[in-house]
C-alpha cells in the first residue's frame, strides 16, 4: 500500500472539491477564500486569456450577482459574467483583486484610518442612494488592493450580519451599515495605538449610537470635515474648541511666525551689544 503525504492528500481533496466548469470558458486553478455565502476561486478565462475570480454560491442565489451588477462603482468589484453549474449551483465571475483585507492589514495612524473609512463609506453611500443595504460590513469584507484600491466585498442577499457589527436595536435600513462603519473605524483607531481627538470620538459615538447618521454619506461628510479641520456635526463646539481647532489647522503658520519672532529677538539682542 502506498501512503500519501498530508500535503498531497490535501491537494487531492481540494481538486476533488472544485466545481465542474467543463463546457465553460473558465478553468479553475485554486481557491481564494470561502465564507458563509459561497467559495471564491481563481480561474483562467480561456477566451480572453486573463485571470478572474469566480464565486460559487448555492442554487437560487443568483440575486447576489444581479445586485452587484447594478452597483457600478470603483469601490465595488465589477461582475463580468454569471451562470449555473451542472449541479445547480450558481456562479458569477469578477475581476481578480490582489491585496489584503482590512482585518489583515490595519492602518498605522489615525489619519490613515479616517481616510480608509471615508473610502469604505463611498461605495456604501452609493448603494444606500439606490436603496441597497450591505448588512454585513466588517474588516474581512474590505479589500485593500495593491495599488491603493479600497473595495467593499460580499454584497450577499439575505445576510444575517456578524455579531459585534450589528446594532442591538436592529434598526432596518442604512442605519445598520452606519453602525458597522462606526465600529470598523473605532477598531482601526484602537489598532493604531493613538488616542482619537474629541471630535473624532464624537463622530464614532454618533455612528454607533441610537441617534446615528441617516446614511453612510452623512458619516463620510463628517469625517471629511474632521480631516479638513472644519466643525463636525457630531460635536458642538465651544469657544475653546474653536481656538484649539484653529491652532491645530494653522500649526505651520504659527511655527513660521514663532521662528520669525525668535530671529527678530536674536537680531535685536546682537544689535544692542
Query: Is there a contact between 215 and 134 (Cβ–Cβ < 8 Å)?
Result: no
* Cα separations in angstroms, 188 against 85, 182, 248: 39, 10, 23
- 47 and 65 Cβ atoms separated by less than 8 Å: no
Residue in this structure with the C-alpha cell 481616510, named with its chain if needed: 115
C-alpha cell at 154: 460580499
Q: How far is CA 191 from its chain centroid?
A: 15
Assign 156 to helix, strand or coil: coil
What contacts 24+ positions apart, CB below 8 Å, involve 49-53?
Answer: 51/96, 52/26, 52/80, 52/93, 52/94, 52/95, 52/96, 53/77, 53/93, 53/94, 53/95, 53/96, 53/97
Place of cell 482590512: 102
The answer to whether 52 and 45 are in contact (CB under 8 A) is yes
For residues 151 and 77, the answer to whether their CB atoms sit within 8 Å is: yes
The catalytic site residues sit at: 136
C-alpha cell at 77: 468589484
Bridge partners of residue 39, in order along the sequence: 34, 56
The whole-angstrom separation of Cα 253 and Cα 257 is: 6
Amino acid at each position: 500500500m502506498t501512503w500519501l503525504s498530508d500535503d498531497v492528500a490535501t491537494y487531492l481533496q481540494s481538486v476533488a472539491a472544485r466545481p465542474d466548469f467543463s463546457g465553460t470558458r473558465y478553468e479553475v486553478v485554486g481557491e481564494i477564500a470561502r465564507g458563509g455565502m459561497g467559495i471564491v476561486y481563481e480561474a483562467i478565462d480561456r477566451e480572453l486569456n486573463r485571470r478572474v475570480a469566480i464565486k460559487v454560491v448555492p442554487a437560487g442565489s443568483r440575486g447576489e450577482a444581479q445586485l452587484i451588477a447594478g452597483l457600478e462603482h470603483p469601490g465595488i468589484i465589477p461582475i463580468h459574467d454569471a451562470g449555473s453549474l451542472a449541479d445547480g449551483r450558481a456562479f458569477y465571475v469578477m475581476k481578480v483583486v490582489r491585496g489584503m483585507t482590512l482585518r489583515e492589514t490595519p492602518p498605522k495612524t489615525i489619519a490613515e484610518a479616517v481616510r480608509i473609512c471615508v473610502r469604505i463609506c463611498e461605495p456604501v453611500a452609493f448603494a444606500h442612494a439606490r436603496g441597497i443595504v450591505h448588512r454585513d460590513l466588517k474588516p474581512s469584507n474590505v479589500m485593500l488592493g495593491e495599488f491603493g484600491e479600497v473595495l467593499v466585498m460580499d454584497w450577499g442577499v439575505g445576510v444575517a450580519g456578524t455579531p459585534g457589527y450589528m446594532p442591538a436595536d436592529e434598526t432596518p435600513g442604512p442605519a445598520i451599515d452606519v453602525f458597522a462603519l462606526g465600529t470598523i473605524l473605532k477598531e482601526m483607531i484602537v489598532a493604531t495605538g493613538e488616542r482619537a481627538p474629541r471630535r473624532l470620538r464624537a463622530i464614532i459615538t454618533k455612528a454607533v449610537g441610537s441617534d446615528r447618521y441617516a446614511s453612510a454619506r452623512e458619516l463620510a461628510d463628517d469625517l471629511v470635515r474632521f480631516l479638513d479641520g472644519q466643525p463636525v456635526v457630531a460635536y458642538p463646539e465651544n469657544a475653546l474648541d474653536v481656538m484649539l481647532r484653529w491652532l491645530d489647522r494653522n500649526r505651520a503658520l504659527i511655527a513660521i511666525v514663532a521662528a520669525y519672532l525668535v530671529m527678530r529677538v536674536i537680531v535685536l539682542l546682537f544689535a544692542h551689544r
